[in-house]
Structures are given as C-alpha cells and as structure tokens.
Structure 1
C-alpha cells in the first residue's frame, strides 16, 4: 500500500464491479498515512507497531441512532489515549440510521472521525459483524458470503455492497483512517437457526472457496473506491470455518487483503496460545509466507469481580511482549466501554484502567 496521494479518477462515472453491482465513483484525492508492508505497518513512512483498543460502541449515540451498546463520547475517548493509538470501532449501516426518522444519518460515525482527527489518533472501521450483532442479530452464513452480501437489502435498504460504497466514499479521505475491515470474524457456515448457535451450525465443504471469493470480490469493490488504505482481514484465526489450518493461508493470500488478524481469548498471560495447526505461532508463520503483517486485533481477558484490573494488565503486558518478540505487528485490546462494570467479571476496559499504561508503554514509536 502506498502512502502517496493519488488522483483516483478525473471524471464522475459508473463502474461495474466483478459482482455486477454498479457503483458511482466521484473524483477524490485519496491519501493514507498508514501502509501495510511485508515488514509490518508504517505510519507517515516510518515503522509503526500500533497498540490501542477495540471501542466497538464508539459510534453509538442513542439521540441519533439505535446504538450498539451505550452512548459514547468520542471526544473524551480519543482525548484519553496515548499518542497515535489505534482503535477499531463498528461503522455498521445500522448506525447510520436515524432513530426517529429511519432515514440516513451519518452524524454519529462522522463524530468518531472528527474526534479522532482533533487528537491525531487512528481508526479502523469495521463495516459489518459476522455474527450480526447490532445489525438485527442475523448471522452472516454461507449464502450471505456467496451472494447475499450484494443481493439482500438490509439497513438503509442497501445491500452490504452498497453500504461499502457509501461508507468508503464518505470517509476515505479522513486523515485518521488506518484501513477498512469488511466483516469482523467471518464464518461461511450453514445455519439451521437465525442466530446460528453452536448446535445449529455446520461448516460446508466449500467454505474456504466461498470466503475467498467474497474477500476477492468485495475487496476489489472497496479497492476500486480506495486504492490507498489497507484492507484488514477480520479473521478470528483460531480454526474457524473457512480459515482452519492451511485454509488461513488461502484466505490470507488474497490480493485484496493487506493486514491479517488473530483474536486472542482464553489464554490469560500466554503469549502464543493455540495448537500447531491454529495457534498464534502458526498464524505468524503463515503471515510471513504471504509477506503480510499480522496484528493481534483482539486480546480479551476478564477482570472485575474475578480478578483485579492490575492483574489483568500484568497478564496482558506479558502476552503482548511475547507476541511482539515472536513476530506480530500490533496489539489491540477488547474492549473499551464508557460504562465498565467492576462488580461483574467482564472484558470491560474503562477510563483509568491500568491497561492504558500497557498501551502507552508498548506502542512504537
């Protein structure tokens, strides 16, 4: 990915993507301060090993949209961060719907970008969730990844393909943008229930092929609108349907995926969790094989009633140091919330949590 400013088109025109969906492209001058290279991420042309938080609720404002969790104050959030932190947040189509009128209303997501810009922070918007959270809870199954993403209208009466075009066109020139995630934790399962619970799912034989076609085609549509910002993979990385074992390499090799992911839960204080087929050590090796950076984009450990915040911070510090030594390219913690529940055992991270020191101490530069 280049960090140079380029002119994408000179005239307004309509393009036909691989899927057959027509997208109107308008003249824009797009640049990216963040690039993905075989040696890792860069910021303004310099090596960057980012740390930060998943603040998935950040665009929730119940005065404007249905929300995804509690109402947030993006200004206060970004003001609290160490310099040049990285934040993943939900930028779903459902969060661009006005709660009163049902019409398009981008203000809550706009506010996230504006606050990040004022504080020179960086964000990766996630454009949809694989499990359907905050989007009607309808699990995105095999059929969705095969065709539904560009044929089935959802929020704003848009298909997902149309939402990608809407979102990318609106925010592609934001100086805080560190890339895009199409779908968080995609799994092309066959489901026998709406929410695809554990007992109602089956992994089809063609899961990897279906997911690769989606990554290639949806990524191509995004790339035609924004050729400069990295596309993040969103993978859980622990052996899920379509990305188990060597299948992870098949997906990671897509030319329309620039940053690979691993999501780390349930191995508190252990730098390299998992087995030799689906563990983090194997994913690091696979990332090197395809010459792409790998970020541990979710690290979650419970605290509150079950262990102290400081103990969690110590465990996470140990984990991130070991992961970086093993070859990862960044670490993001799950999950920052405006209303942490210290009386419960949760992943909640609030203002003043000792994890702030971990984020500040381990970031580079």
Structure 2
C-alpha cells in the first residue's frame, strides 16, 4: 500500500558494526538493562478498545514514517521533519505511527550505530507530551534494504544474519534489532506499544515481487502465526507490558484471507489487530467479502482484542482538493468507528507534500489536521 523513495548508502564498516552490536545498548550510555521492565505503561488493550492512563481512548492521528530521517547522519527515507513543529501542532492524546527501522540507526558515513536521529524523535515527543507507535520493520523492505520480506524471513530469517538496511550490512538480525530498540526506548513515556512488522505477508517472489506475481505458499497462515508467537515472546522479554500491534493489512492478503485472519490474530504475540484502508473514500466496509472491515471487526471481538484502522489513505493534490479530502477523512473516521474500529490514523504526513501530483501526502498546513484536532478523544 505504501510507495516510498529511499537512496540508502552502501558504505559499510562491517568489522566495526559487529563490535558495536556486541557492545549493545550499554555502549551508548542510555537505556535500561535488557531484562528491565517498563514502569511507564500507559496504554492497555481490552476487549472494549484501548485505554490511555486508565481511561477509554479512541486514538486519531497520523502516520509519519520518516521522522527519523537525518540526512547528515543516516540514509534516511523521505524528507527531514521539524520534529518540534510536528509534535507541537498535534492535539493532546493524538497518536503518531512512525518507522523505527534499523536503517535509521546506522551512520551512513562510518557504518557505526548512531541512535541520535531516533533519540531526537522520542525527545521531541516527550517535550510535547505526545504519543507514538514505533514500527520495527516493514514487510515491503522500503526504507530498509529494498527487499520484500518473503516466507523465509518469517520462518527463521528474522533470527539469522539478515540485512535490514543497506548501511548495516549482514550483521544485524531482526531479532537483534528488537532487543536493541525495545531495550533502549521501552521506558519512553511517549511509547504506546510496538509493531513488529508493517504489513507482513509471507509470500514468495518470482522474477519480481509485484503483489500480482507473488506465490502464496500453502503454509502461509501457519508461518505467520508462528512468527507472531515467537517474535512477540522475544519482544516481551524486553517489555512485558506494552501492547503489540499486528501491522496486518487486514484484507485477503497472503496468510490472512477470510478466517485465516482469526488464526493469525489469536497469536499470543498480538494484542491489537490492524486494518489498512485505501480502497474507497466512501465504502463503509472496504475489501472483498469475508476480508472486509466489518468482518475483521467481528473477528476481533471474537478474539477479545481491539482493532485499529492504522492507515486510511485518500489521494489528493491534482486529483482532489485537500478540503474535499478532509471532509472525506472525517466521514471515513465516523464510518470506521461505527463499524467497530478502535482508532484511526491517516496516511501520511510529509513535510513536503507533492501538491502537483495525485498522492496520499498530507502536509503541515493540510485541513486534515483540523479533522485530527476535532476527532481526538
């Protein structure tokens, strides 16, 4: 669903990277020991929905995937964001979902771990008392190494020396990144939970990884379920209390079509289910029958877990005025809430919207901000 551009540098210092990884979080002089547990848990997932500080919470906000971009340090993804301006413009109790990928944590000049750009995201969020949902990796490979994560990644590739970034080489495993990231930032008051992988699909690529040409293996559902069981347990060894979001698109994608969503969603490594909606600005229950939003909401209730629509995308610019889109966003949020969703985030904030194109870009002065301000509860 996401189309992003990234130009990741390939200047690697592998030997130095290995040393940095072995030193781990302690070498950076920040964060608790890996077995320490969070004392700042603010968000809980309940069968009735989410709570924030013990009160019902229906989060509304933005996806802002490129918050960690710092062109002077990392390879980045998208334009740099004025973090204080962004977080300062949000209303209280809003939510921002962003990419906390390992690719943002490596210095493109040296190949060394450099947490500065990502630390600044959390520091800015804390200054403005804002809330964030970090996504630890992306299924598409965009903003990482550019490679779609196939079936083998979810089987055991996440435990092996799999490059997640063109600047980190082959020494940082995904399991290692979970440990590093969650250990470092799990006590940040802004963190509401964690998302293991954005839009995971255990398909198999052919000559290309285009979704229309990928093969969905017969064991896709079992593979995805076991991944969440194991990776979720691994994450919880570093933060036992914050909820884990599924990141699932929620439609008829490989491994989750129809009742397979139930099997995957029942994993002990998932606390909050997801649905991503780009199909229509007006349809109250987008998606193929049996894999639509209302079905997913019903399934989440059966599992006793809340479901959030963590991506609502409507194109504007040359194809639609931003004012019209803002009205459609507002109506879409109402319909998704009526359908049983437990929150909604708009796709996607960028500091440099391409107003001459037909895109999902939401700029700093877009009227969609007024929708978020009015809808936060």
Task: Note whether the superposition's TM-score is higher than 0.5.
Answer: yes
1:204 to 204, 217, 231: 217
SS at match of 2:276: strand
Match of 2:197 in 1: 183
Instruction: Identify the residue that residue 25 of structure 1 maps to in structure 2.
Output: 34
Shift, 1:289, TM fit? 0.5
**Gapped runs of 5+ residues in structure 1?**
1-23
User: 2:310, 2:212 → 1: CA distance?
Assistant: 27
Q: Deviations over 1:62-108 (max 9, x none)?
A: 11110011112211110111112100000100110012111101111
Distance 1:249 1:334, change over 3 A: same
* Correspondence list, 1:84-123, <5 A: 84-123=93-132
1:320 is aligned, of 333, 348, 351, to 333
Render the CA deviation track for 1:122-143: whole Å, top value 9, x for unaligned.
1011010001001121110001
Kept in 1, the 8 Å contact 2:38–2:239? The answer is no
Unaligned runs of 5+ in 2: 1-32
* Distance in 1 of aligned mates of 2:240 and 2:71: 34
- Once the two structures are superposed, what CA deviation does each residue of 1:206-247 show, in whole Å capped at 9, x if it has no partner? 000000010000000001110111100000001100011000
Question: Which residue of 175, 182, 205 maps to 1:168?
Answer: 182
Secondary structure of the residue aligned to 2:70 is coil
Contact 2:38 2:186 in 1 (8 A): no
Tell me if the contact between 2:309 and 2:345 (Cα under 8 Å) persists in the aligned partners.
yes
Is the Cα–Cα contact under 8 Å of residues 303 and 347 in structure 1 kept in the other structure?
yes
SS in 2 for 1:130: coil
Distance change >3 Å, CA 135–CA 318, structure 1 → 2:
same
Of the three residues 232, 246, 260, the one matched with 1:233 is 246
Instruction: Find out whether 1:57 has 2:71 as its counterpart.
Output: no
The separation in 1 between residues aligned to 2:212 and 2:271, in whole angstroms, is 33
How many Å separate the matches in 2 of 1:210 and 1:28?
29
Deviations 1:298-355 (A, max 9, x none): 0000000101001101111111111112211000000000100111110000112111
Distance 1:25 1:360 in 2: 37
Whether the 8 Å contact between 1:129 and 1:184 is mirrored in structure 2 is yes
How do residues 31-70 of structure 1 correspond to structure 2 at under 5 angstroms?
31-70=40-79
Answer whether contact 1:52 1:87 (CA < 8 A) is retained: yes
Partner of 1:20: none
* Partner in structure 2 of residue 309 of structure 1: 322
Q: Give the equivalent residue in structure 2 for 1:285.
A: 298
8 A Cα contact 1:29 1:173, kept in partner: yes
Q: C-alpha displacement at 1:28, in angstroms?
A: 4.6
Matched, 1:74 2:83: yes
Q: What CA distance in whole angstroms lies between the structure 2 residues aligned with 1:348 and 1:139? A: 23
Counterparts of residues 150-161 of structure 1 (less than 5 Å) = 150-154=159-163, 155=165, 156=168, 157-161=171-175
**Partner Cα distance (2:185, 2:306) in 1:** 24
TM-score after normalising by structure 2: 0.88
Residue 351 in structure 1 maps to residue 364 in structure 2: yes
User: Secondary structure of the residue that 1:25 maps to in structure 2?
Assistant: coil
| Alpha-carbon displacement from aligned partner over 1:51-70 (angstroms, at most 9, x marks no partner) | 00000011111111100111
Give the deviation of 1:192 after TM superposition.
1.8
Greater strand fraction, Structure 1 or Structure 2: 1
For 1:158 and 1:236, the matched residues in 2 are separated by 26
SS of corresponding position for 1:202: coil
Q: Deviations over 1:138-183 (max 9, x none)?
A: 1100011111110133243210000000000000000000100010
Cα RMSD (Å) of the superposition? Answer: 1.2
Q: TM-score, normalised by structure 1?
A: 0.91
The Cα shift of 1:276 comes to 2.7
Q: Give a deviation string over 1:28-57, Cα, whole Å, max 9, x none.
A: 553311111111101100000000000001
